Structure 1
Amino acid sequence: MTGQDGDRETGRATIYDVARLAGVSHQTVARFLNGEGGIRPYNKVKVEAALTELRYRPNMTARSLATKRTFRIGALGYEIAGHNPGRVLQAASDAARELGYVVEVMGLDPLDPGQLADGVETLIRHGVEGLLITSPTVGIAEELSGLRIDVPVLVDGARETDELQRRGTLLALNHLHALGHRRIAHLAGPSQWTAAHLRRETYESFMTEHAGASLVWEGDWESRSGYTRAERVVNDGSITAVFAANDRIALGALLRFHELGVRVPDDISIVGFDDMHESEFFHPPLTTVRQHVDAGGRTSAARLIAMIEGRPSEYPYPEPDLVVRASTGRANT
């Protein structure tokens, strides 16, 4: 027997198995899986627990035939082999699979906005029901705004997630300011990237508000960018703290500071952004802003599926946190 109730021939759990374990009717399980309302909260909890315990997976072929839907999502990503983009897409794929969807990922060049239209057209031809699009650069955002897309679209890089970038930056800067730092430099990422632009813009506004001069050196996202610009920070002679646009930039700066005999945090404090898995193992361990990229990817997938199914979204994006480690200390004034 096959269908929404699973596949008895392969030994996979069916909705009848789930209903029996949860102590509810199979109709209740079906309504839950279809995202319908009218389920008592305590029954919902029991169904969720039973689905997890039985590792229930719907029979997608039968489900598609029965509903005339594809249960496929397209994801257009940039630099998908990179640390954060890869984690976002993996988390989104995991969350979608748990909700009965398959994600088809297409990688594009972030500096070639013209690829976006072709990517969207290709995925729609493949029958996707919605699109998850990352918008890392100004050019991509402009290209996206001019496209007509006939399926639900969720943009990672829209106004709400942009605001989280600003709040994360303020966490770093307020931390340094509270430690007495007034001459704070910013090792910025490439300006055509939305995240780098937002972090720099927030930094400059913060410095203006707190009567401090903006001291910005722009580079790319790589460690060598921080390494080559760290010497300019030291040559200034008055800078006591650095806000790096990401942890890789901070890593390069830490090495150059060490080579120049600059002690961190005794002479200069430094804060990064992202909280890479390796950041706690830097020397010294890096104070940084944690973005919760895995949870953000899961939220994006859940929100898009809610749009596809015509349900209200109940999935907030996670707030950034400041992770304080040994790379920051009180200003030595």
Structure 2
Amino acid sequence: MTIDPVSGRPPSIRDVARLAGVSHQTVSRVLNNHPSIRDTTRQRVLDVMAELQYRPNRAARALASSRSRTIGILSAMSTDYGPASIMASVEAAARANGYWVSIANIDPNVEGSISDALDQLRAQAVEAIVVVAPQKRVFEALANLPFEVPYVTLQAVGDDGHALFFDQYAGARLATRHLLELGHRAIYHLTGPQNWIEADARMQGFLDEMNAWDAPTTAPILGDWTADFGYFAGQELLRVRDFTAVFASNDQMALGLLHAFRDGGVDVPGEVSVVGFDDIPEAAHFWPPLTTVRQDFAELGRRAVSFVLGELDTEAHTIDPRLLVRASTAAPAR
């Protein structure tokens, strides 16, 4: 932005009005695309704004128009691939629709954190809220809190009219069915943290698909989403060797498994097959390239913004994942 050499301040709406030969109210109307402005006047104002490199003050415009053009994101401060990707895609979709994003982070383990974050967003006069917080306790707290603006909850299961989500349960059944169709029956499931809604849905999908095939099941291994835990779990599994396949609840844990099996001299997929979940960008470059369930997070972000802006069919709340078969799975060795 150009700085006035005399005053030492950025150009204001009054500077634009003076140079364009119009009132500051006319400049405001141009900024808000008011239909009463003549095309020649609009262009003259826009030309002056470009010459001055003028950027309107969002706070002032919000006060003048009674609209903030801001979408709030309620986030559980997760750096995991899924939540981080969703937040990035929501922000990109919001900007494409002429909106800004304000993020309020919460700690699900701290009393009052969620209501405080909502108050923070309300104070910024956000026009809608997107919830990217996959822990069960977050949704339990949200059920008792009022929302004065349109909102949508992502990474959820079930549908209360405000949920938009990938079908985690169906994705887990796809992954498990793939292994069963290859001929595997001794399959372990490495699940995510208990408090995560997705982890629970993927575990239930695994168990139900195994039961549908009358395949024996063992207790799922409780993980934490990290490659380090996948490596540890892989080392422990190699002590028993009573399995031919593992379905990991995310790609990072699958990466740890592949590392552990390689260190243990176990061929993947010759001796053990591995399936992940998410299709992180690196999954196609694991060795071997990972078979996984893909979630289109960019599409989820676009739909979330369309939902809160009232443009999405209210019945289109579920996005189906798809299985990507790569080189980490094969029929079990005879």
Which band: TM-score by shorter chain?
Answer: 0.7 to 0.9
- Greater Cα offset, 196-205 or 265-274: 196-205
Offset, 1:233: 2.5
TM-score (norm 1): 0.78
Count of aligned pairs between the two proteins: 288
> Separation in 2 of the partners of 1:100 and 1:197?
36
Give the alignment partner of residue 183 of structure 1, picking from 183, 186, 195: 186
> Separation in 1 of the partners of 2:313 and 2:262?
52
Residue of structure 2 equivalent to 1:207: 210
Residue of structure 1 equivalent to 2:144: 146
> Separation in 2 of the partners of 1:295 and 1:314?
16
Native 8 Å contact 1:111 1:137 kept in 2:
no
Give the alignment partner of residue 226 of structure 2, picking from 213, 219, 222: 222
- Greater Cα offset, 208-217 or 177-186: 208-217
Offset, 1:74: 0.8
Q: Any unmatched runs of 5+ in structure 2? A: 1-26, 35-41, 50-55
Residue of structure 1 equivalent to 2:33: 5
Larger radius of gyration: 2
- Greater Cα offset, 145-154 or 181-190: 145-154
Residue of structure 2 equivalent to 1:20: none
Residue of structure 2 equivalent to 1:90: 88
Give the AA of the match of 2:167. L
1:76-115 to 2 correspondences below 5 Å: 76-112=74-110, 114-115=112-113
Q: Any unmatched runs of 5+ in structure 1? A: 14-57
CA shift in 2, pair 1:300/1:66, >3 Å: same
Give the alignment partner of residue 169 of structure 2, picking from 131, 152, 166: 166
1:270-309 to 2 correspondences below 5 Å: 270-306=274-310
> Separation in 1 of the partners of 2:167 and 2:193?
19
Offset, 1:256: 0.5
Is 1:196 aligned to 2:194, yes or no? Answer: no
> Separation in 1 of the partners of 2:57 and 2:303?
24
Give the AA of the match of 1:159. G
CA shift in 2, pair 1:317/1:64, >3 Å: farther
TM-score (norm 2): 0.78
Matched residue of 1:149: which SS?
coil
Offset, 1:5: 3.1
1:32-43 to 2 correspondences below 5 Å: none
Work out the percentage of aligned pairs sharing the same amino acid: 34
> Separation in 2 of the partners of 1:91 and 1:97?
10
Native 8 Å contact 1:110 1:136 kept in 2:
no
> Separation in 1 of the partners of 2:157 and 2:209?
22
Native 8 Å contact 2:91 2:100 kept in 1:
yes
Q: What is the RMSD computed on CA atoms of the aligned residues?
A: 2.8
> Separation in 2 of the partners of 1:109 and 1:165?
24
Give the AA of the match of 1:171. L
Q: Deviations over 1:142-182 (max 9, x none)?
A: 11111122222211125255661011111111111111111
- Greater Cα offset, 214-223 or 241-250: 214-223
